[in-house]
A and B are shown apart, each in its own frame.
Chain A
Amino acid sequence: DTGVSQDPRHKITKRGQNVTFRCDPISEHNRLYWYRQTLGQGPEFLTYFQNEAQLEKSRLLSDRFSAERPKGSFSTLEIQHTEQGDSAMYLCASSPTGTYGLDTQYFGPGTRLTVL
C-alpha cells in the first residue's frame, strides 16, 4: 500500500507568481487534508475534503488560495499572486472514515515553497 504522495517536493517561485501543488492520498481514503507548516512551528490546518466536497476552510486560507478535489481522488492546492509570507511547507494528509468520524491521518512528504 503506497503512502500519501505530493508533487513537487520543492518549489521556488518569485513573488506574484501562481503555484499549484498536487496531493495523491492513500487509495480508498475518502478524507483529505491540507496543512501549512512554517519554520519552528507545528502544522496548521488549512482545509479538508470528504470525497470531492470541501467541507471546511481555515481563516488562514485567504482568497488567494484555492483547493480542489475534483473526482474525490487527488487534490490540488493553488496559490495565486504568491507573497513571501506564503513560504512554508505544505502538507497533505489522508484518512479513512473511522467509527466516530475520525481516523488517523497519514501525511505525505510535503511541498516546500520558497517565495523570493
Chain B
Amino acid sequence: AQKVTQAQTEISVVEKEDVTLDCVYETRDTTYYLFWYKQPPSGELVFLIRRNSFDEQNEISGRYSWNFQKSTSSFNFTITASQVVDSAVYFCALSEFNGSNDYKLSFGAGTTVTVRA
C-alpha cells in the first residue's frame, strides 16, 4: 500500500508565484517523521525539512514553509516567491518508528515543479 501520496505530478508557475505541494501520508505509528527532499536535474536528493509527529507547529524557513496537520494526515510544503532555481522534483517522505522500522524512508512519487522566467 502506498504510504505517501503526492497527487500533483507536475506544477508549472511563473517566477515569483507561490507554489504549494501536497502530501498525504498513511501510518499506524504514533511516532514518525516527515521529510521534504528536492531533486534538481543533477539527480542528487537534497534534504529540505523534517518534522516529527509530536510537533504540529508550522514554521517558515526562508522561502520555505510547511503545513503539518495530523487530523488530515497531510504535510504540505510551500515555496514563496518561486525562482527558476527552484525547478526540480520534490519528494515527500515518511519514516516510521516502531522500534524496528525506523531506518528507511518511504517516498511519494514526486511532484515536478517548473518555474518559468
Contacts and interface: CB of A to CB of B under 8 A. Distances in A.
Nearest to A56: B103
A60 B107 CA distance: 15
B47 A102 contact: no
A110 B97 CA distance: 26
Given A48-B103, A101-B103, A109-B44, 12 more contacts: A33-B103, A35-B105, A42-B93, A43-B105, A45-B104, A48-B104, A56-B103, A100-B31, A102-B103, A104-B50, A107-B45, A110-B44
30 contacts: A33-B103, A33-B104, A41-B109, A41-B110, A42-B4, A42-B93, A42-B107, A42-B110, A43-B45, A43-B91, A45-B104, A45-B106, A50-B103, A55-B103, A56-B104, A89-B43, A91-B45, A100-B97, A100-B102, A101-B97, A101-B102, A102-B97, A104-B50, A106-B47, A107-B37, A107-B46, A108-B44, A109-B42, A109-B43, A110-B43
Interface of B: 4, 31, 33, 35, 37, 42-47, 50, 91, 93, 95, 97, 102-110
Contacts of A40: 109-110
Contacts of A109: 42-44
A112 interface: yes
A109 B40 CA distance: 10
Contacts, number: 61
A95 to B, nearest CB: 9
A44 interface: yes
In order of increasing CB-CB distance, the 3 nearest A-B pairs are A42-B107, A107-B45, A45-B104
Contact of A107 (B44, B108, B109): B44
Contacts of A110: 43-44
Contact of B91 (A31, A42, A93): A42
B47 to A, nearest CB: 6
A105 interface: yes
